[in-house]
Structure 1
Amino acid sequence: MSEIINNREQEEGKELNRKDMLKKIMKDLHDGRSVDEVKAQFEEAVGNITVEEISKLEQALMEEEGIPVEEVQRLCSVHASIFKGSIDDIHRNTQDEEPPGHPVHTFKLENKEIDYLVNFKLKLHYEKFEKEATDEARWKLIEDLNLLLDVDKHYSRKENLLFPYLEKYGIYGPTKVMWGVDDMIRAGIKEVKKKLLHYDGNKQAVLDDLDYVMRETVEMIFKEENILFPMALNTLTEDEWVKIAYESDEIGYCLTSPTVEWKPERKEVQESKWAEGMIQFETGNVSVKQLEAIMNHLPIDITFIDQDDVVRYFSHGKERIFARTKAVIGRTVQNCHPPKSVHLVEQLLIDFKSGVKDSEDFWIQFKDKFVYIRYFAVRDENGKYMGTLEFTQNISPIQDIEGEKRMLS
């Protein structure tokens, strides 16, 4: 027995030592050491690494070492190049290919199209523009970037459907880091498209931006397929994958779409039936079904966050302004926002909880809409904070109103 205990202690000691070495390597990168130096150190000291260890490493850097998520995002591409060829495929899901319609199969299907778009079409038009910045070459690049903007749907499904389930199992590091990099890719595509639309003759600036977008987009494919997806396949239940597949249509697909609906052979997930009980209010009573219908017919989008910052409810009208999926229910509101805007969410909640504010308003231009976003602190009869209500409305039609209307249409 003592021999078993000693062996176990030795193994645990090795794992702790290995984790410390990995963290040191990442901190060395953070402190400015060259990639070549760190890569040699990594290969000599660490060897192979599993996707789970990459996840825990990123989380430990943020939680234990206090490195801001923005810094880990900056290092993400650097350490991805180091980890290439060092990931232990033994720890991947034993099923090489997921069945058609499975969310991971769809993600990979999209990645093939993204890779083809970037490494064939975009690269070809990049080289033509590099040789001669003609209007034809410029518009070919703009067409490619318009297609690449479709990657937003791919990233949105990942962020709003897959990430919440990983966070449910305590996996936060990759979700925060990856979301931040997704946002940088989105912004990069829009920025280089803007430079091409309003081309001022600075060819190198356009080429540099294109280099960045192409490199980061391809790197993200690697990170998803070698780190994120294997980790998710090893973590999520079949029922959770079914729910992700069911809600994917709400957000949409990138450059392609699943050809079949995936249904596990062992069972079909049953949708919950409506509870038909009555709800008694001070001013009347309605059934659960009636109340749901009322909320979904309001010309606004409503989301409620409880006193612990957990998303508890959102209305689901015909034309939502911002996509919401059922996966956000039970998720903390901080993890429903990109890292770059979390500080605003935190400050708003602090002000509401302390009583400094009872409401806050924002208004933004979003696609073809002018969106009015209002937040209200919800308090009980004694003034105790119960949560926050988000109220979102497209007010463009209201701004266009003139005169009076007193007759039926």
Structure 2
Amino acid sequence: MKTSNFYKSVAVLLSGTAAAQAITLSILPILTRIYSPEELGMLAIFTATTSILLTVSCLRMEMAIPIQKFEVEARSVLVLCIQLVTFNVIICLIFCFAIYFIFPELLGGLGKLVFLIPVGILLGGVYLAINNYAVREKEFSLISKSRLRQSISCAFIQIFGGLFGFGAIMLLLGYIFNLGAGAFYLKKRLLEDLDFKSFVKFEKSKEIFYQNIRFPKYSVVESFANTAGIQIPVLIIASSIGVAETAFLFLAMRIIQAPMALLGNSISQVFYSQASENYKEGTLSSLTLKVSESTFKIGVGPIIFIAVVAQNIVGKALGQDWEVVGVYITTMSPWFLFQFLASPISPVMYVTGKQNLFMRLTIFGFSLKIFCITVAAIKGLYVIESFVFANTLFYMVCFYIFSQVGGNSMGNIIKSFMKVVYIPFAWLFGALFINHILAVF
């Protein structure tokens, strides 16, 4: 892919993602005034639980879709993914009934809302599969529009529900409709001719499954460990220091993740759509270096900016009861800075067939995070700080390994970063200037 085409594809994805993120962030001051910390804490618990299960809903077969050589193979993998999601949703529903009636103490404050989890997994799993099919087809404009529809649906439901006093259930339904709106839009635009009879052709699906066995064999554990390493600590924090405190952490993560969701995911999807071809041509190292430099140039600055101004702005925007969110944002900034650098080039592990190494890496990260957060929770000291330390260390290691697998030494990476280091510094000086203005007035 030529450099101009690469940036054009990223720009197309960014257009919709930027609008979607703007909607998500702009409604936060409304949500914090119409929902209590406890209600937003329930959303954090629901999101954490659903996210963990969602990552393995397709047994990671969705990651095989973009690298299929032929259209018929890609569609066959897509059908397999939806079959797997359906099966896993049935299993999840059985577990939800068992927990609700036999072990209700495990539900925390969710209660009957636990039955919304399978719905979220169904819609989210289908969206994951169709989204990866769109990546293969390089339909970045459709992906961009789907993200915008997701945010609009979520915002409307959550604000409407809060204003009319329906409580936490509307926060959860907004999250679910976020997933569903994207799935239905992409299906209608991209797969209108999909034959539903193919969903019952299990012999073909069995053949496709074994052809791509390396994805469930290695990537399920890797993906589960990666997501669980973020979300299980959120559940531990909820049980150790309270649901309300979890809401503060949840909002802080959502705000500082905005640059990563806006830029990192878009760059990563374009990178994955092209990396397989570059790998075959022997030019993967140049593509990986270009992506790393682009990520540093356009993404590190905004994270630094948010970290510096957060404590002066967040309290005013969200309300006095939420001032601690700004402190959490500043504390978490090193973690998200390195995650932002590492995540866009992580598909290099799939392209080069390093799923086994990726699995071992994420198991290390999962173990590190759970160990740090558990020890801190037991002692009742530095719980959030321990969470941040473990994630920062893990993503530093990830960035190093992804770069090496992509064919670039740290020396080359640093040299590339030094060419554009003035850009993050400009963001830093801008943040310091704004803090000075706020202090004066």
Query: TM-score, length-normalised on structure 1?
Result: 0.28
The structure carrying a bigger strand percent of its residues is 1
The structure carrying a bigger helix percent of its residues is 2
Structure with bigger RCO (C-alpha 8 Å, 6+ apart): 2
Larger radius of gyration: 1
Query: TM-score, length-normalised on structure 2?
Result: 0.26
